[in-house]
Structure formats: structure tokens, C-alpha cells
A and B are shown apart, each in its own frame.
Chain A
Amino acid sequence: MAGGSASASLAEMGYNVKAFCFQDSPRRAHSIAAQGGINAAKNYQNDGDSIYRLFYDTVKGGDYRSREANVYRLAEVSANIIDQCVAQGVPFARDYGGLLDNRSFGGVLVSRTFYAKGQTGQQLLLGAYSAMSRQIGKGKIKMYNRHEMLDVVKVDGKARGIIARNLVTGEIERHSAHAVVICSGGYGNVFYLSTNAMGSNVTAAWKIHKKGAYFANPCYTQIHPTCIPRSGDHQSKLTLMSESLRNDGRIWVPRKIEDVEAIRSGKLKPTQLKEEDRDYYLERRYPAFGNLVPRDVASRAAKERCDEGFGVNKTGEAVYLDFASAFIRYGKEKAMVEGVEDASPEKIRELGEGVIEAKYGNLFQMYEKIINENPYKTPMMIYPAVHYTMGGVWVDYNLMTSIPGCYALGEANFSDHGANRLGASALMQGLADGYFVLPYTIGDQLADDIRTGPISTDLPEFAEAEKLVKEGLNKLVDNKGTHSVDYFHKRLGKVMWDKVGMSRNEKGLKEAILKFKKYAQNFGAMLWFQEA
């Protein structure tokens, strides 16, 4: 999304852009999966929002570890993003007056999140994709689908192009440019199971790091509290249930361990448990924010309950997200609005289910397909999972990395979210970086290149980079190993999750290093890994 939006803006401004993605179309980038929404300081709800307040919330949410100047700029352009998207035909949710609707997200006390049901990322990405398509149609952007960037090429210390592999023919290609922009997303998949897409590997960011771009805060990984729990070893990825559900769902586990056992063995249904036997632990511990505490707090609290043995599914790693009281609250409201008199409790619940369906229908459907339980009739089960990486490639205020002429945008950079990202702020950052920041800051670098002319791909630097890439690939292909890539990825990811996950300590981290060394030896010919 950061890449698509940047390409569109740059092309409009007159630059010639080559864009690369590994999918068969840029419309499939993983931003497509973002569900909940995008923040902007519009103050449409008249609840006291402002640029300063969005800035303050984002910096505080990130535990004061974000770069404040970048965040302030982000807050300033946030409102333009919404204007821009609406002008492009992004169908955000609206109220009956025809104006844009908002919801609130974790860690924030105002309602500033714009959304399109549970598919906000899809709509924003497709908006950027359409702006990009318009420029591809005009020949201003040349799109290379099914291409994987495998290295950056530096000439005289400046980023001057990339080496990419055509994933259909297998050919290694050289592409030159006056600047290189990396918008390749985060590194959540080092944990194997995450809410990221299967192809979201960190190759591009890692390769520029190896060529001299600093990497900042790799320890800051976001573990999202509301994901569908793991069901078994066959699992290849985890699915997020949007955080917006915490607006209406209440999180609980049974108060008594006997009830936990009865539920796990199927003797007791969660709906049968009396109110006083439930522990709404977030409401108990954080009365002001309740179920809307920031993500890191919600995740650690769920882990704490499950570590104490209160997990409600077979693996012991799940808590309930219960909509029963929302069904009643909305049902009553709806009955009033529609003038249904003396509505029975069943009628009220039915009306309430309808309201929830209108808000989150696709999420409920997704849950049912995966878990095979109807979340309108029984509470959802959720558990934290790796979701987003705040850390990333270090960039300056111009979003340039420590390699001159090489930039990093979106989740790939480190700048805006500090130690913890608030909900609905990654989409905001991606589009801000792409539409409104990079296209203007990149000029600072390109101005010096006005007389440089085209860069030849016959330069020795290109030949050298290509040779190294080919050698690296051959090492992988010729290695006489007996296991698949997945085999290693799964095991390494498990070590990361167990020892470098939600809580870390010296002993665990040291054990993790030992385990990595062992796998590296098993991997034999795969020398890259030992160097790392």
C-alpha cells in the first residue's frame, strides 16, 4: 500500500517509476487484509479530537519511543488521507445523514477511526491500486508483477538499482534507477505463525540492511490480542479478528478452575456460566479503558490468565470474546428506534444480532468458517498472535535509510509507532508516507541528480551484485538437505514465539541462541544463516 500510493503520487508528479511486487498483481499486497480502520484527526464526531491529540495518543501509545517529528507530520496529513480516499471512490461506512461514520480503537478515548466494514485495508489498498492503475495505463509506472527484489545495487555509495528475480522464468534481472524505495512490509513471519501473508518475508529490508541500512528496534513486535486461536500443528498462519470487536465484545475467562475443566471437556457450555462465575479480567484490572486497553496490555493479560490455567480451549490458549451484552444493548436501541413495543428478550437479541451483523458480518463469517462454531450463539475464542512489527529499517525525517538514495516506507520502516502501535495507525502511516511524504522529500536527494542521466546496468557494481545473488541462490538449490524450507521455518518460528515472544528474559534468549546455532548446523550448506 505504501508502495502503490508512492508510485501513484510520484508518477503524477512526473517521475518515471518501476514498481515490483512478488504477487501476480499489486492489488494483493498484504495491506488488503487490514480490517478495522484508519485514524484521522478530523474531529467529525466533535469529541475533542485534534492534530495534537492524535499526535499525543500515537506517541504515548508507542511508549514515547517513536520519532516525534515524524508522528507530528503524520497527524498533520491524516485528514488529507481521508479526503483523498473519498475522492478516489473508497466506500467508507456512512451514517444515515450520508456523512462518514467513525469507531474508536484500543488505547484511545475519541472516535477517530474511519472504516469500511471489516475490510478497510482492502478498500484503501484498492484505492491506491486504482490510482496506480491509472498511471500504469498512461505508461508512467511500469509494473513488474511476480518479481522478487533480491538485492539493492550501490554505485559510489548511493542506491542505484536492484537485482530482481522473475518468479515465472527464474531469470535474474538488473534494474537501474536514481533512487530505490522499499515498501516491503514487516518481519512478523520470523515467528512462523502470524497474521501476515505467506509471502510477507523480510528479504527486501534484510538485503538493504546487509548493504548498510541500519535496522532499528527489531525487538518491538506487536502481539495482537484478538486472533483466532491455534488449532493444531498443520496450521500455516493465524487469522486476526479485528480489534474493533473489542468495542462491543467483552473479554472473560471462568473465575473457577473447575469450570474451565468442565468447559474444556465439553460438559459445560460458556453460555451456561453465571455472570458471577465469569472473570471479565480487563474490566476488573483497568476500569477506565476496560476492554479497550492498548494491544500490548490486552495480550499480556490474556497470556497471564492462560498461563494460570484459565484458557478455555483444548490447547489452553484461548479466552472468550463475548457479544451477549452488545446484542441486548443494540437490540434495545433498535427496538426503540423502530418503535417495536414490548419486544420480547428473544426479539431484542435478534435485533441486536442484526446490528452486529451489519457491523462485523464478514468477521463473524470468517470465524465460523475456521472454527466451525456460530459466534452469534456462543462466545468467540481468541488468543494473541504476532501481527505487526514496529521495528524496521531506520530512516531519517525524509524517510531515507542510512544508504543515500534508498528509502523505506510503511511497515518496513521503524519511525512512527515506537514500542507499540495503536490500532488503525499503520494504514494511516502507509498512505501518509506514500501519497504525501516521500513524493516531496525524495526531491531533496534527486535534485543533485538532475544532470546524472540514465544509469547503466552494465556498471561493474550491477555485475557484482548479480553474481552474488546467483551464487546465493545456487547455494540454496544445490544444498543436499533432506528437509523442506517449511520444516526449518516452523521450528525456528517456534523458538522465537516461545523464547522471544510476549515476555522475554535473559535465560530464554540465551537458550534461543543455542537452538538457532543447532539448526544452523543442521542446515549444513546454508552458510548465509551462520553469518547472520
Chain B
Amino acid sequence: MDLTLKIWRQKNKDAKGALKSYDIKGVSPDSSFLEMMDLLNNNLIEKGENPVAFDHDCREGICGSCSMYINGEAHGPDRLVTTCQLHMRKFKDGETIHIEPWRAKAFPVIKDLVVDRSAFDRVMNAGGFVSVNTSGNTQDANATPIAKDAADKAFDAATCIGCGACVATCKNASAMLFVSAKVSQLALLPQGQVEAQRRAIHMVEQMDHEGFGNCSNTGACEVECPKGISLENIARMNREFLSATITSES
């Protein structure tokens, strides 16, 4: 396949970036989007130009590193995949593809397509855990049975990979889907239920503090989320958060 790529190039976090056009030839339809980017970078390096910086690591859709906004969609046109799992067979020969970084106030661009997502880590540090020490002296794992249904729902929420596509997609750059996935996972399990409200309050406070926007229930995040994290989680978190703020006020 032959393609034209329009890629966001930005030297560092303070520089002004711009889209730059590149032609690329001989892309295999069986290659992944990132393998196409590898080919481009190899061509650039052999010509003595600077390769395009982008985040990636596992290349199998699970680490959440890759983060490209392709033709106006986070992780590109396919559903339930990350950019590294997107294959070139989803594009047409001769097509022009726009590639930009995530855009959100809380995710500043560091270079080219790389953004700083450390705000997510700070939200996690504020409460994304069960307060239990790793002494190994906890009770036997089967001491508290957990209904399969609750365990399965907790698992579904726990599959969030922290990629930030939800934030990049949301017109308000809200992180509600990400935060609610963690809050829900832990609230659904007896081990996490005890401090569920406190957790919700602390994580939401940190989220606001980082400059993520408000959730206006548009639902765009759910569509673009590569792991199919459901909006139900936001509803569940709102319940935790509301009941928490009510009890703490009273």
C-alpha cells in the first residue's frame, strides 16, 4: 500500500508543533499501524532525519502505552483495539492518514505524538488501592466467597489499560471512565467496599485538581475505549461519590 501521512511534529513541550506530510510506499496490509510507523522511521533515519517519537511497548494491546489520534479517532477507526493492534488492512491504498497526539489539558504533549499521562498515576496514588499491607498474613483467599457475577463485573472494570483514549475522545477531556473503572472494580469486591466512598472522594478530588474536565454523559469515551469499559461504571461511581458527599456533609 502507498499512503500519505500527516503527522504532528513538535520538538518538545514548549515548542509550537505542526502537521507535517510524509509519503510512504510498500506498506503491507498485514502490518500493524505501529509497524507502518517503524517503516516510516526507518526511512527517516536512513535519510538522516529525526524519527517520529511515539509511545509504545507491549504491542499487543495491553500495556496502554500507544496513544495516537488517527483520522480524528483515538486508536483509529477499528473498535476495541489499541493503535498497536490496528492493522493496515483497515485503510485503503492511496489514503491520507492524519496522526496526532492525545489532546487534553491534563496530558501535555512532550514530543511529537508522546504525551505526559502522569496525571493518571497521581489519581491512582490518591486512592486507587485497597489499604492492605503486603505482609502475606491476610486471611485465606477463599474465606470470603464473592458472587461470580460481582467478581466478573469487577474484572471487566479492572481491564482498563490506562491508555487515556477516553480523555482524548471526550469533548471535556474528562477522566471519568478511567477513574470510575478503578472505583467500580474495588467497590464491587468486599475487600474494597469498606473504603469505597473515601476512595471515590479522593480520586475525584485529584482528578479535578489535575485539570480533567467534567462528565456530561455524552458516552463518546465508551465507544472509543479499546477495552470496552462500560458507562455503567460511571453511574456506579456517581452513586459512591454522591452517597459519600452526602454522608460526609451530614
Contacts and interface: CB of A to CB of B under 8 A. Distances in A.
Contact of B128 (A84, A133, A435, A484): A133
A456 interface: no
B89 A372 contact: yes
- The residue among B27, B117, B128, B141 with the most chain A CB atoms within 10 A of its own CB is B141
A179 interface: no
B132 interface: yes
Contacts of B140: 83
B61 A366 contact: yes
B101 interface: no
Contact of A129 (B32, B35, B124, B139): B124
Interface size class of A (residues with CB under 8 A): 35 or more
Contact of A77 (B38, B85, B89, B136): B136
Given A83-B140, A137-B126, A234 B189 contact: no
Interface string A217-251: 00000000000000110111101100000000000
Contact of B131 (A82, A90, A134): A134
B185 interface: yes
Contacts of A93: 151, 155
A483 interface: yes
Interface residues of B, number: 73
Contacts of A436: 136
A197 B136 contact: no
A89 B162 contact: no
A99 B56 CA distance: 37
Given A236-B35, A236-B38, A117 B136 contact: no
Interface string A18-50: 000001110111101100000000101000000
Instruction: Give the most central of B80, B118, B148: most A CB within 10 Å.
Output: B148
B27 to A, nearest CB: 8
A30 B63 contact: yes
Nearest to B13: A168
A91 B189 contact: yes
Interface stretch (B41-49, B165-173, B217-225, B242-250): B41-49
B158 interface: yes
B46 A482 contact: yes
A521 B32 CA distance: 33
Nearest to B42: A484
Interface in B145-190: 145-148, 151-152, 154-155, 158-159, 161-162, 185-186, 189
Contact of A236 (B59, B61, B139, B192): B59
A44 B142 contact: yes
B7 interface: no
A126 B63 contact: no
Interface stretch (A4-12, A150-158, A304-312, A459-467): A4-12
Given A84-B134, A435-B134, A119 B62 contact: yes
Interface in B37-84: 38-39, 41-42, 45-46, 55-65, 78, 80-81
19 contacts: A24-B55, A30-B63, A33-B58, A33-B60, A83-B138, A83-B140, A87-B130, A89-B192, A93-B155, A94-B147, A99-B145, A123-B158, A131-B129, A137-B125, A145-B118, A198-B57, A239-B60, A369-B78, A484-B45
Interface of B: 27-28, 30-32, 34-35, 38-39, 41-42, 45-46, 55-65, 78, 80-81, 85, 87, 89, 110-111, 116-118, 120-121, 124-142, 145-148, 151-152, 154-155, 158-159, 161-162, 185-186, 189, 191-192
